[in-house]
Amino acid sequence: MKSTQFIASRHYSTALIGFGPANLGLLIAAWRRGDLKELARDGIIIIEQATEPGGGSLGDYKITANSLASVFLECIDDKRLGDLFAELKDKPEVQLLRKESTSAPFLATVGKILRDMAHVVIAAVARHYDITVLTSAEARDIQQDGNHYTISFRYNGEDHYVQAKSAFVNCGGIQSFSPADYAALAGQVLSSDRLLRMPAEELQPLLNAYPHPRIAVIGSSHSAVSAIIRLSELISDRDAEIAIYGRSPLRLFFESAAAARRADYQFNDEDDVCPLSGRVNRFSGLRYASHQAAVSILREGRLGPHSPAVTVNISPSPLTSASSAPAFDIGIIATGFSAKGPPGPERNSHADGRVRDNNGRVYQGLYSFGLGSGLTPSFKIGGEKSFRGKLDGVWLYINDIGDAVLDSYIKDHSLEKVAEGFPQ
């Protein structure tokens, strides 16, 4: 394996800060496109906080994915990658996906497959290029120094730094909030992210502390409905209550406008239909288990005959509306993610992956597109006009998002070479 030993203060062409689904997808896209030579001209360094690269925190979640198993299989079986993942096709987790290709797999299974994919990709890259991989390494800071970036990180109990011409910062997302802001809402408040990771043996006593728990969920997106699914699995009490407070109604995903009409779903042809795919609420819509749960909530007012009652409350200020109701026992905050890791939570990357400051100035050579900082829809990627969020997802990272970010990188790199007098 052509992999260098770590050398403090070494200069690399590319730093991949974080190596979960986003930067793994980028590296796979670069392999597919033939862009690795540019990325690895003076070497690549991966700085990953987890003990294994590739899966991020997906393995911690107790829920199913927002995509079918067939979508993840498409990433492994992609003929454009040649036989890159041939050795994974007999893995038990991959075989499970093939057996249940029309169902949404558990995220723990997806996380294991992504870790296996990461090991394969890193080994393949190392056979041709110089790549350094540091796990259990926490990136602390990134600073622009002239025409390169200095990345500071903690590794093996010591502080280190390296320099890189370009950096792709994707360290995952975090749901952060001030408990004081929610004091009027409930006696106990936690994020949906924490709820969806908590083992049942830890979560059940919290729920059992109340005879008929009243729970408020702030938000109406996928994480909010996933939280309601989890709560309904653990609370068998028709007298318990779950109240959703969101700015927009529960949006449902459909493969086509015709399918949405057959289901009597109300939507706007101009705003809610992706012009490229024809899908209704392609990026904002609830899919699979969350879709089924939302339909049950809207039709039956609960997920099952013995599960808690669920109400939906839509207003411009969900927290204000929820706080004006009698105090809840538990509050679940499901209002989206901010980016973890340097250079901070606010990353304005728009549709091209380039990081900008609050005035719109581009940080040359700095890119971010993962959870919490993801891309906005574009003409090339598609998406419904009504979608106001950020794009994320394994298939998108390997395909549309990976292509958009690499297009930006290649364009920026070519302009740099022209400015420095290098031949094209």
pLDDT digits (tens, 9 = 90+) for 28-61: 999 999 999 999 999 999 999 999 999 998 889 9
**Given a cut of 70, is residue 413 above it in pLDDT?**
yes
Tokens of 162: 């390296």
pLDDT digits (tens, 9 = 90+) for 210-231: 999 999 999 999 999 999 999 9
Residue of 133, 120, 108 lying closest to 56 (CA atoms)? 108
Measured N-to-C along each axis, helices 222-234 and 200-208 cross at an angle, to the nearest 10 degrees, of 80
Tokens of 306: 């013995």
**78: number of CA atoms within 13 Å, CB side?**
18
* Ranges of H-type helices in 198-267: 200-208, 222-234, 257-262
**407: number of CA atoms within 13 Å, CB side?**
11
Query: Using CA atoms, how far apart are residues 168 and 210, in angstroms rounded to an integer?
Result: 46
Residue of 251, 249, 257 lying closest to 274 (CA atoms)? 257
Neighbouring C-beta atoms of residue 157, cutoff 10 Å: 6
**Given a cut of 70, is residue 416 above it in pLDDT?**
no
pLDDT digits (tens, 9 = 90+) for 96-106: 999 999 999 99
Angle at 114 between CA 108 and CA 120, to 5 degrees: 145
**Given a cut of 70, is residue 423 above it in pLDDT?**
no
Q: Look at residue 151 and give its three-state secondary structure.
A: strand
The pLDDT of residue 339 is: 86
Residue of 16, 76, 52 lying closest to 395 (CA atoms)? 76
| Strand-pair partners of 134 | 47
pLDDT digits (tens, 9 = 90+) for 99-146: 999 999 999 999 999 999 999 999 999 999 999 999 999 999 999 988
Query: Using CA atoms, how far apart are residues 300 and 287, in angstroms rounded to an integer?
Result: 18
Average pLDDT score over the chain:
91
